[in-house]
């Protein structure tokens, strides 16, 4: 082989060595870089939370239990969302309180996972019996959630009607009564 040929061959090998692409770095779960095939990679934080990135660089399944497992009318057990978040699963605004105790108890609703007390209906608001007669006014709420009956104070006890005077005399005569006194009831 001629010296020029040998030199060209060596230069060619050197150039190939210099410009050849570097071998791809191995993908590593835990290096803090999300790479192909990884749902996530938070480095040292992998596997340290219930719903966050796992040691396998993926997220726990949606529905996996996490956080508070309290199960009440206003709050269901917490679950992972499959994307790294623990969801509190608070209930919608259900009616949840003591409103069944009476018309004057304002309806309580779930909010933020608890039952929020709405207190009482305003004083004077209608409740109970709405009938309005000579001796009874419509019921209304008073302080403390009490439904007041509101009877009319100027309406006295009801006096039964007297029988006609003629009927009294006839009854007395038929009964053989010879003397009687009539008393008028005032
Ligand atoms: Ca990685
Ligand atoms: Ca919850
Ligand atoms: Ca209440
Ligand atoms: Ca009444």
Total-model pTM: 0.60
In 35-72, which positions are buried (b, 16+ CB within 10 angstroms) versus exposed (e)?
Answer: eeebebbbeeebeebebbbbeebbbbeeeeebeeeeee
Expressed in angstroms and rounded, the spacing between residue 95 Cα and the centre of ligand 3 is 10
CA-based nearest residue to 91, from 61, 64, 105, 71: 71
Q: Which residue has the tokens 């508070």?
A: 68
Expressed in angstroms and rounded, the spacing between residue 106 Cα and the centre of ligand 3 is 6
Expressed in angstroms and rounded, the spacing between residue 147 Cα and the centre of ligand 4 is 9
**Residue 48 belongs to what domain range?**
29-89
In a domain, 119, yes or no: yes
In a domain, 71, yes or no: yes
For residues 148 and 75, give the distance between their C-alpha atoms in angstroms, rounded to a whole number: 36
In a domain, 129, yes or no: yes
In a domain, 166, yes or no: no
Residues 111 and 62 in one domain: no
Expressed in angstroms and rounded, the spacing between residue 127 Cα and the centre of ligand 3 is 16
Residues 45 and 79 in one domain: yes
Residues 79 and 113 in one domain: no
In a domain, 183, yes or no: no
Q: Are 90 and 113 in contact (CB under 8 A)?
A: yes
Residues 84 and 40 in one domain: yes
Expressed in angstroms and rounded, the spacing between residue 125 Cα and the centre of ligand 4 is 13
Q: Residue 182 has what pLDDT? A: 41
Q: Residue 168 has what pLDDT? A: 53
* Count of domains forming the chain: 2
Expressed in angstroms and rounded, the spacing between residue 99 Cα and the centre of ligand 3 is 6
Expressed in angstroms and rounded, the spacing between residue 75 Cα and the centre of ligand 3 is 18
3-state secondary structure of 71: coil
Residues 36 and 85 in one domain: yes
Residues 81 and 115 in one domain: no
- Strand ranges in the chain using DSSP code E only, listed in sequence order: 79-80, 86-87, 109-111, 114-116, 140-142, 146-148
In a domain, 22, yes or no: no
- 147 alpha carbon, closest ligand: 4
Structural tokens at position 26: 């191995």
Query: Cα 101 from chain centroid?
Result: 19
* pLDDT tens, residue order, the chain (186 aa): 555 555 565 555 555 555 555 555 678 999 999 999 999 999 999 999 999 999 999 999 999 999 999 999 999 999 999 999 999 999 999 999 988 899 999 999 999 999 999 999 999 999 999 999 999 999 999 999 999 999 988 886 655 555 666 555 555 565 544 333 444 433
Expressed in angstroms and rounded, the spacing between residue 98 Cα and the centre of ligand 3 is 5
Given 55, 89, 123, the domain boundary residue is: 89
Q: Residue 24 has what pLDDT? A: 59
């Amino acid at each position: 082989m001629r010296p020029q040929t040998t030199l060209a061959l060596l230069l060619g090998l050197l150039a190939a060595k210099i410009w050849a692409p570097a071998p791809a770095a191995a993908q590593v779960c835990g290096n803090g870089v999300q790479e192909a095939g990884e749902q996530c990679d938070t480095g040292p934080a992998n596997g340290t939370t219930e719903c966050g990135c796992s040691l396998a660089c993926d997220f726990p399944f949606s529905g996996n239990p996490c956080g508070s497992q309290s199960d009440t009318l206003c709050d269901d057990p917490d679950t992972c969302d499959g994307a790294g978040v623990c969801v509190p699963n608070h209930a919608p605004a259900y009616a949840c309180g003591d409103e069944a105790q009476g018309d004057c108890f304002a309806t309580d609703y779930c909010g933020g996972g608890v039952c929020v007390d709405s207190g009482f209906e305003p004083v004077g608001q209608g409740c109970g019996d709405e009938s309005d007669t000579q001796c009874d006014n419509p019921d209304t709420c008073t302080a403390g959630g009490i439904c007041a009956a509101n009877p009319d104070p100027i309406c006295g006890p009801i006096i039964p009607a007297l029988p006609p005077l003629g009927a009294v005399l006839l009854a007395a005569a038929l009964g053989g009564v010879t003397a009687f006194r009539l008393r008028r009831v005032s």
